[in-house]
Amino acid sequence: MGYYSANPFDADWEAEAAEDRANRVARAEEEAAIYLNVAIEDARAEFDAAMASLLGVTGPRWNRARDAAKAKFRVGTAPARRLYDRTVEYLIDHSEISEELSDAWDALGAVKTAEAA
């Protein structure tokens, strides 16, 4: 009868693989966020201006105006957020942005400005 024990290095490999995956996800999210922030810059400025115009307003009127500004921001930034998700997935797998994604970001006006950042 032989004695077999668990390989003590298996857990380390799994931990390293999980850590590597987490690092790749973080790097991909950081890089895609650069493009996203540039693409939604105008929408963010518009939202900030709408909220600044509400200074001093309270109660239900403030709530309605805030909700309207949030809804407009969400709708206006939806294409960029969807593209952000696609970009993160692609970066995790390939470590670089594809030509198709670059063209899509360029259509949103984010590529040239983000590369300069």
Q: Please report whether residue 44 resides in a domain.
A: yes
Q: Please report whether residue 69 resides in a domain.
A: yes
pLDDT 10s digits, 14-73: 778 889 999 999 999 999 999 999 999 999 999 999 999 999 988 999 999 999 999 999
Q: Please report whether residue 3 resides in a domain.
A: no
Q: Please report whether residue 5 resides in a domain.
A: no
Flag whether pLDDT at 11 surpasses 70. Answer: no
- Residue range of the domain that includes 33: 10-116
* 3-state secondary structure (DSSP) of residue 5: coil
Q: Please report whether residue 54 resides in a domain.
A: yes
The answer to whether the CB of 91 falls within 8 A of the CB of 28 is yes
Q: Please report whether residue 46 resides in a domain.
A: yes
Report how many domains make up the chain. 1
Identify the band that residue 111 occupies on the pLDDT scale cut at 50, 70 and 90: low
